Amino acid sequence: MDDIPDSYDLQTVEQLRAVADELRQRILRILSEQARTVTQVGEELGIAAARIHYHVKELERVRLVRRVSTRENRGILEKYYRAVAINFAVPAELLHNLPPDESVATASGWIREIARNFERALRRAGQSEERAHRTAGLSRIHLWLTDDEFGHVMNAVEEALQPYQQPRGVGAERERTFVQLMYDTRDAEPAAEEEPVPARTPELGYRFKINHAVWVGAMMLGRDELERYDARGETLDVTVLGLLTVKDDVPPELVDRVVSRLRHRGKLAASPEVRAVLEEKAAKRKA
């Protein structure tokens, strides 16, 4: 991999749209390791060569992939392609120079692609026991950060993930997709013309905020975690496909206050009192 640059800054909106596709990101990763033919890429990904060919040609068209050699093998010309860099970055000026509508449209397309892939993975993971050990998580956390702290957090996350961005040859490793979204909460508030959401306060018997969590595989709820949500006036809307464990020291009244909704398919490990509370919440959801 030392014959191509370590990083390449995307230069055009077309390039940005090209790498928004998850399959193309996987193709770029493979072609960053060494030159390969379309057939070889398809074999590694388990995808038909014709489908890979379309995406490789699109990446070549926007100059993120280049053909590096052509060899004859038994009368067939084999074309070898290589990514132009190991990593690809989106410079801030590229996003800032986009018209607002185009910037939003580009981001929306990317997010829709991510959502479709997540839903597909979630559905397949719950379809058979063979996939039951595979985990997929979705969570939302609100943070209070200065601009400097925001930059520090982003850099720390990137540094923590860096060692795992290339295959290491570890027997149990699988390719996983990690998506990071962060935005200013006030910027996401509805505009004046939008329908306002009624405020809910503890004095009225409601909670400040609902936290959504989706787990495939296993999820454990402990007393300390639930008490933190309770102290902040927050609730949990939980979906679990697999094993749901509630520790023995968790009182049923705490579960009743914090867990607002439950969708669960799989095994439940909890005390009889907590089990009764959760089963009642699950039954209300089905009703």
CB atoms within 10 A of CB 223: 15
Four-CA torsion 40, 45, 47, 53, nearest 10 degrees: -50
Residues 146 and 53 grouped into a single domain: no
Query: Which pTM was predicted?
Result: 0.51
Task: Note the pLDDT of residue 174.
Answer: 81
Closest CA to 253 of 284, 232, 234, 278: 278
Q: How many domains does the chain have?
A: 2
Residues 185 and 244 grouped into a single domain: yes
Residues 147 and 219 grouped into a single domain: yes
CA distances (Å), 47 to each of 41, 42, 54, 243, in order?
Answer: 8, 5, 12, 32
Residues 82 and 182 grouped into a single domain: no
For the chain, give the percent of residues with pLDDT over 70.
Answer: 83
Which domain-ending residue is among 109, 134, 151? 109
Task: Note the pLDDT of residue 74.
Answer: 83
**Highest-scoring range by mean pLDDT, 11-15, 61-65, 218-222:** 61-65
Q: Is residue 114 part of a domain?
A: no
DSSP secondary structure, 189-231, as one string: SPPTTSPPPPP--GGGT--SEEEEEEEEEEEEE-HHHHHHHHH
Instruction: Flag whether pLDDT at 15 surpasses 70.
Output: yes
Q: Quick one: average pLDDT of 11-15?
A: 87
* Whether the Cβ atoms of residue 198 and residue 226 lie closer than 8 Å to each other: no
Per residue in 147-203, pLDDT (tens digit) is 889 888 888 988 898 888 777 888 878 888 888 888 888 777 766 555 444 443 333
Residue labelled with tokens 């290589």: 82
